[in-house]
Chain A
Amino acid sequence: MSQANNGAVLAAEAENREFLVFSLGDEEYAIDILKVQEIRGYENVTRIANAPEFIKGVTNLRGVIVPIVDLRIKFHFDKVEYGGQTVVIVVNVADRVVGIVVDGVSDVMTLTPDQIKPAPEFGVTLSSDFLSGLGSLDDRMLVLVDIDKLLTSDEMALVESTSNQ
């Protein structure tokens, strides 16, 4: 019997996922920790002319040119400030390295499958296509972003779109 229990625990653990929680304004978002390469300060970004507003530009990450996306602008937050708390989460998606600007990184959370609720159909600025669900943690709600889908989507204009070529 204890063995069966162990097996169940293992299975559950296997499905537990770790998320990096960050804040945009007062809202809490989270992305799969395995996508995160590193976290660094916001500095020295070179503007790219004629790029969408939320693409802040490119920066030098130890010799690699990395585009920087400000999710706050993308999600139409009113207050977009760059201060000491502003950080860039460098993520690896689709063989690319991209930096995303957020207001702050709080912690790393482990969510069990039953803590992840399906995302309701809503959202104009953030389509539920780009969400992997909502994380419910006591009285906190985490918006779980499918960073892969979001950053490779056409509307992010980060990747040369293949659809119209």
Chain B
Amino acid sequence: MDIADFFDTFFEEAEELLSDMEQHLLELDVDDPDSEQLNAIFRAAHSIKGGAGTFGFTVLQKTTHILENLLDYARKGELTLRADLVDTFLEAKDIMHEQLDAYRSEEEPNQEAFERICQTLQQIALDEIGQQLDGPTIPAAEPKAAPTPVPSENDAEANSNNAEASSNGHLLVALLNVEDKDRILLVEELEQLGEVQSQSGDAKRYEVVLKSSDSADDIEAVMCFIIEPDQIEITAVEGVATEPAPAEPEASTPAAPAPQAPAESTASKASAPKPAAKEKPKKAAAESSSIRVSVDKVDQIINLVGELIITQSMLDQTVSDLEDQSVGNASLQNGMSLLQRNARDLQEAVMSIRMIPMEFVFSRFPRVVRDTAGKLGKEIELITEGKSTELDKSLVERITDPLTHLVRNSLDHGVEMPDVREAIGKPRVGKLTLSARHQGGNILIEVRDDGAGMDRERLLAKARENGLNVSDTMSDEEVFQLIFAPGFSTANEVTDVSGRGVGMDVVKRNIQSMGGRVEIQSKLGEGTNTRIVLPLTLAILDGMSIKVGGETFILPLSTVLESLQPAKDDMYAMAGDDVVIKVRDEYLPVIAIHEVLNVENAITDPTKSIAVIVQGEGRRYAMLVDELIGQQQVVVKNLEDNYRKVPGISAATILGDGSVALILDITGLHRLSRYKKEAGKKVVNNQNLSSFKEAEPS
């Protein structure tokens, strides 16, 4: 995916944000502003600024930046709103809209309007905040961000684009508390923006004197990609000679690789030569070729199509019955098969609306990896595979956090320090691969590193320390799954990278709540591969339909491991009520579905029923059912919409004959069965049970 592909997305989003902003501004009660609304306006401005900065829409970025600063004061209550201020904000919004349109049709935005609005806004800042500035509440660093008249002049110059490379633009850029690694990068960035005259200082305060035609705001905006705004201090320097020690020895080295002539020419093109070049091929695509539709509407269509599919299969059944009675009709047959094909095509097409390429998730990781690696002092090469693999939108939104955590974890605990790597004969640069691909009805997302891998023995020892129930005979897969156990912390190596925010158990729970699972493959010394297996969409589930008594239930296929006919000799009673079954040297708790769910007329003799071995939350159970019917894809319907959560049941679905079948929740069933057994032999009151909560039994 080319960056140009993101342009349209940005334009659409910015447009939406602008209209949001306008709406909020209009609704805003000037006398008693709603802080939520102010925040919403601020966020809209902030998002637009970010996007505009990324795509190099400098004029839009600057306008938004100034507006954003004012809004920031407003939402902090340091700027008292008045109707005329809101009018000005609205005017600024209109101008931003014009700028946006200009960028969309690849023209330069109106310079006069830009300068005028900037001046107006800055005048407000001066008039309104200027009085406030001597108030004690504002920290000294804060007002610096407020637009001062200086950048406005520079803005105008930088944007006039007349290659009027101003010679007097000497700026002192101070980097506060910036690590060496970041600093080198920043100095390189600065070299791109202008001519570095001198640099000196230490990690605490590093000063660079820059000769540049770009404004302080521009420079700050560029550097904010790497460090926080409060780590930067930019001041204009009068004259060149004021700087002490103009040429320290180290200054010449970094400055040398940047050839001066190109640096000058790019600088005169106002800080964003890269996107400008890429903009060219996208000519005349001013009208957007996509529409934004609310997810509700799409979901409604998906539901209706689900209905259509069910109706179609009912009809299909009727027609084939007719054929069996030899009253079939050839054209009816043809019509049916045509209908079937069309309905399937329609379903696929509709489902694809919700699908988004993984690119949207992966695109944030270069930054995550870069930052994390920088903090850890590691060298990492990020490789992404299968960016075009599509995934349901709701899953895309929910996979980002767990994936970020896994990546951080991999970088922190997986990949070794560069020196260590070199010492054991690995390349200095660690490799982290993110990949996504389809596998059957699932999507497989992998986080692979070529780091140290997991140490089985250490994990087991840690687990014992943490009081977890482990044994040496556990399979590798089971041992690796221990890292997902709640409370399993590798406490002595908590860093600020991992070990904060969500824990691995939350990662696992998140993924499970998406109907997926996590697998870990690891080889000591060679690396770890964390695999997330997700269903393509939440709306459709691969199910195994089973029968108990006369009732049909659906087991999520992802939980089913195998099924077998239990032999009498393999079943053992435990403590009276509990029954376990021995499957290949492993004892699994037996859950008789007819008992747990009170099904009448079910097969009660275990040896005559079928045991389905299922896995839920890392544990295995044997479920006794009467009959396996087969695999089918089912449309998942929420029970809570009109009813409530039912213990042991995760959702419902509609079968081909129009009837409702319940989808079983493995761990819920196990809890329910334990709850029932704990309640003892006495008849369990229905009312009691209905108040049984899904919480962990204490």
Contact = CB atoms under 8 A, between A and B. Distances in A.
Interface of A: 44, 46-53, 57-60, 62-67, 96-98, 157-161, 164
A64 B690 contact: no
Contact of A49 (B596, B652, B660): B596
A114 B183 CA distance: 85
Given A44-B659, A63-B306, 19 more contacts: A46-B551, A46-B652, A46-B660, A47-B551, A48-B646, A50-B646, A50-B647, A50-B648, A51-B690, A52-B687, A52-B690, A57-B660, A58-B643, A59-B660, A63-B307, A65-B637, A67-B643, A96-B643, A158-B644
Going nearest first, the 5 A-B pairs with the smallest beta carbon separation are: A49-B597, A46-B660, A67-B643, A50-B689, A63-B307
Nearest to B689: A50
Interface string B684-698: 001101111000000
Contacts of A96: 641-643
A58 B652 contact: yes
B303 A65 contact: no
A27 B436 CA distance: 64
10 contacts: A48-B646, A51-B690, A53-B686, A58-B660, A63-B654, A64-B642, A65-B639, A65-B641, A98-B642, A160-B645
A98 B596 CA distance: 26
Contacts of A159: 644
A57 B649 CA distance: 13
Nearest to B676: A50
A48 B596 CA distance: 12
Contact of A63 (B304, B597, B648): B304
Contacts of B304: 63
A57 B642 CA distance: 12
Interface in B470-508: none
Among A58, A59, A97, chain B packs the most CB atoms within 10 A around the CB of: A58
Interface in B648-673: 648-649, 652, 654, 658-662, 672
Interface string B599-610: 100000000000
B638 interface: yes
B108 interface: no
Nearest to A92: B642
B640 interface: yes
B598 interface: yes
Given A64-B641, A96-B642, A46 B690 contact: no
B401 to A, nearest CB: 26
Nearest to A155: B687
A53 B687 CA distance: 9
Interface of B: 303-304, 306-307, 310, 551, 596-599, 637-649, 652, 654, 658-662, 672, 686-687, 689-692
B686 A52 contact: yes
Contacts of B690: 50-52, 157
A98 B551 CA distance: 22
A50 B686 contact: yes
A65 B659 contact: no
Nearest to B684: A50
A60 B597 CA distance: 21
Contacts of A62: 307
A60 B596 contact: no
A65 B658 contact: no
B555 to A, nearest CB: 15
A65 B351 CA distance: 21
Nearest to B662: A46
A63 to B, nearest CB: 4
B642 A51 contact: no
A148 B343 CA distance: 39
Nearest to B597: A49
A31 B469 CA distance: 58
A65 B597 contact: no
Contacts of B598: 49-50
A59 B649 CA distance: 15
Given A46-B659, A50-B686, A50-B690, A65 B648 contact: no
A21 to B, nearest CB: 25
A65 B307 contact: no
A49 B306 contact: no
A65 B645 contact: no
Nearest to B308: A63
A62 B310 CA distance: 10
Nearest to A160: B644
Contacts of B637: 63-65
Nearest to B654: A60
B636 to A, nearest CB: 10
Given A49-B596, A49-B597, A50-B686, A65 B642 contact: yes
Contacts of B687: 52, 157
A157 B644 contact: yes
A157 B597 CA distance: 18
Given A50-B672, A60-B660, A63-B654, A160 B640 contact: yes
A158 B643 CA distance: 6
Contacts of B686: 50-53
A57 B648 CA distance: 15
A103 B455 CA distance: 68
Contacts of A59: 659-660
Contacts of A67: 642-643
B550 to A, nearest CB: 10
Nearest to A159: B644
A26 to B, nearest CB: 28
A98 B563 CA distance: 38
Contacts of A52: 686-687, 690
Nearest to A44: B659
Nearest to A66: B642
A98 B647 CA distance: 20
Contact of B597 (A50, A160, A161): A50
B31 to A, nearest CB: 35
A7 to B, nearest CB: 39
B49 to A, nearest CB: 39
A48 B306 contact: no
A92 to B, nearest CB: 10
B684 to A, nearest CB: 8
Given A53-B686, A58-B639, A160-B645, A48 B658 contact: no
Contacts of B641: 64-65, 96
A46 B642 contact: no
A159 B658 CA distance: 25
Nearest to A49: B597
A40 to B, nearest CB: 13
B660 A51 contact: no
A77 B135 CA distance: 76
B660 A65 contact: yes
A49 B591 CA distance: 15
A46 B654 CA distance: 10
A57 B654 CA distance: 14
A12 B686 CA distance: 46
A50 B599 CA distance: 10
A58 B652 CA distance: 9
B643 A65 contact: yes
Contacts of A53: 686
A44 B551 contact: no
